[in-house]
Homo-oligomer: A and B are copies of this chain.
Amino acid sequence: MPASAIRKLVPFADAAKAEGVKVYHLNVGAPDIKSPDCALDAVKNNTLDHVSYSNSAGLIELRKGLVEKYYKKIGIDIEVPELIVTVAGSEGVNLALQICCDEGDEVLVIEPFYTNYNTFAFMNGITLRAIPTDIREGFAIPPVSEFEKYITHKTKAILISNPGNPTGTLYPKDTVLALGEIAKKHDLFLISDEVYREYCFTEEPHFSAMNIPGLEQNVILIDSVSKRYNLCGVRVGCIISHNKDVMAAAMKYAQARLCPPIYGQIASIGALDTPQEYFDAVKEEYRRRRDYTVEALNKMEGVFSPNPMGAFYTVVEIPVDDAESFAKWMLTEFRINGETTMVTPAASFYKTPGVGKNHIRVAYVLEVPELKKALHILEEGLKAYPGRTI
């Protein structure tokens, strides 16, 4: 079982903090943004006096609320039995892989990809086949012909994250439709992880894989209530499909773990009343942070970041021999006025050996004044790092 690349530097960060060093965390997608009051209040004002199990599929009030108050509003037309509440997006992805694949099957991913896809694949004996993209082309996905090179008789699904973690890449409607064509032609499942859907910085609305015409039986949508409402800790998400067999299988797995967490479900029911202004303000704040971050990064010598159109991450090329050594060195050696910056080395987001060794993932999850300090430290660290390559 591989260790989480995102979290394996944590002990070094903890050691730095124990010495009194302030660490700016650009390494994890844990936003600093306040959760909506309606969600927090739903939990504070709950009147449960006996916290029993819910239905394995989740509280009916939450399932109905998601379908009617959220999905209808954003143009995803589903019925209640087409949705099962999961223990956040993590369980959703794991479930989708278990449903689509037997041991030894293959799933296509677009590289770089969320590192825990690797973990879930490993846990289920599934092989990920990674289709490369180029940082200099903004990680745009390659043409259909490129995909077909990777499809074998063992290929069961394409797993995408849109907008993407770690790159922040947003797939336009045309790209999603093209992916749909491949799935249709080769009868593959399309597992679409859209947990960052509310964080898109284009004028065009997000186009969900659920809306690819004619692919209804092949699409599995993974979503996260936790991410959407800055409620990461509640651990609530959902898995959605029009395919009855998929949902029946999902229910068997859901029953094995009995039910999703009740208080998180209560928070999620409350969160359904989040006003549009909350999302608008959050999105505006992230756009500001992204603009600041990407500009600051590209001003640094030898550093390159694309301009991501979604989520709150960017993958950045830095002038170092090995980004993991650099990230560790920042935590153990480099300080400015008793402060340092933590980033995630991006090699583990790649499957192709050697690729991404000089890439890091930056999560712009701090306010601009904090980002300014964090990125200044990063810049100075890059200048001072003994393994600098330019």
Contacts and interface: CB of A to CB of B under 8 A. Distances in A.
Interface stretch (A44-52, A199-207, A353-361): A44-52
Contacts of A125: 103, 125
B51 A33 contact: no
Contact of A43 (B43, B90, B103): B43
Contacts of A94: 257
Contacts of A44: 43-46
A243 interface: no
A40 interface: yes
Nearest to A249: B1
Interface stretch (A168-176, A261-269, A289-297): A261-269
Interface residues of A, number: 60
Given A87-B87, A253-B1, A50 B230 contact: yes
A120 interface: yes
Given A4-B255, A43-B263, A234 B51 contact: yes
A257 to B, nearest CB: 5
A3 interface: yes
Contacts of A232: 51-53, 258
Contacts of A234: 51, 261-263
A280 to B, nearest CB: 19
A34 B50 CA distance: 5
Interface in A71-107: 87-88, 90-91, 94, 98, 103
A389 B60 CA distance: 40
Given A44-B44, A257-B87, A252 B51 contact: no
Residue from the set A28, A53, A260 with the largest chain B CB neighbour count within 10 Å: A53
B30 A52 contact: yes
A7 B34 CA distance: 38
Nearest to A102: B125
B52 A233 contact: yes
A255 B43 contact: no
Nearest to A37: B49
B259 A233 contact: yes
Interface of A: 1-4, 6-7, 28, 30-35, 39-40, 43-46, 48-54, 56, 87-88, 90-91, 94, 98, 103, 116, 119-120, 123, 125, 230-235, 249, 252-253, 255-264, 266-267
